[in-house]
Structures are given as structure tokens and as C-alpha cells.
Amino acid sequence: MDIIYRSKNVEKQCRDLKKAQKDFASFGEKIIAKINLIESMESFSDIMNYSPFHCHKLSGKLKDYWSIYVNGRKCSLRMIIAPVDDNGQIVASDYDFANTCKLLNIVLIEEVSNHYE
């Protein structure tokens, strides 16, 4: 799985342990581990079906994005992600998304944030 990041800051939060620990305290290592796991997956379908991620679709202005928890459902930190096609465009979920996501092997990390802030 290829990963692209919305900004250099988000990339640094997800790749640099020191930055991740500074921004997210003890969850820094968990963020790095999630990124490593995502990289080892083959398609967006794998992300959706990996139950410890608790991957779920968002709504409203983030309707084409998905969320995965950094440390389980009780943790308020989440990673907002989106499946991306070969042209770098976010793929909207439609009636055939279950089949489409099996072919998508690029994910966009939009942000890592505290859901309740």
C-alpha cells in the first residue's frame, strides 16, 4: 500500500517518532505502528476489513473520508484517511465501492487528530 499525506506536518507526525510523541504523547508509537501496518496491506479493502482499526465511514463535510482509531474505540485519537486512485483523486464510495476498494492501493492520510477537540 502506498501512502500519501495531506501535508508535510502530517507526514512528519506519522513517520517521525519524536514528532509523534511530542504531538500525541504516549500514542506516538501507536501511530507509527498503524502506518507500518497500513503499508503492509495490499488494498483499501484490507484496511476496511481489519477489525482492530474499527474503520468507519465519516459523514457531513468528510463524507468521502474514513476514520481509524489510533488505540481502540475508547481512545479519542483517530486517523482520517481516504482511498485514492492512481491520479491522486479521492474515490467516493458509491453502490459498487465494496468491489472498487479491492483495487485501490493508495491511501491518503488527511490528519491525525483528537476527535473531541
Residue-wise DSSP of 17-71: HHHHHHHHGGGHHHHHHHHHHHHH-SSHHHHHH-GGG--EE--GGGTT-EEEESS
Q: Among 14-23, 41-50, 76-85, 92-101, which is the least confidently predicted range?
A: 92-101
User: In this structure, which amino acid lies at residue 18?
Assistant: K
What is the predicted pLDDT for the residue at 114?
83
Output the nine-digit C-alpha cell for 5.
499525506
* d(C-alpha 67, C-alpha 113), whole Å: 10
CA distance 37 to 105: 13
For residue 31 the three cell numbers come to: 501511530
Domain that holds residue 66: 2-114
pLDDT tens per residue across span 33-68:
999 999 999 999 999 999 999 999 999 999 999 999
| Residue given cell 491518503 in the structure block | 108
Query: Given a cut of 70, is residue 117 above it in pLDDT?
Result: no
| Predicted local confidence at residue 101, as pLDDT | 83
The percent of residues in the chain predicted with pLDDT above 90, rounded, is 63
* pLDDT tier at 116, thresholds 50, 70, 90: low
Rounded Cα distance between 117 and 86, Å, is 33
Q: What total of structural domains would you count in the chain?
A: 1
Q: How confident is the model at residue 5 (pLDDT cuts 50, 70, 90)?
A: very high
Q: How far is the C-alpha of 43 from the C-alpha of 39, rounded, in Å?
A: 10
Q: Identify the pLDDT of residue 20.
A: 94
Residue 22: give its domain's CATH number: 3.30.2310.20
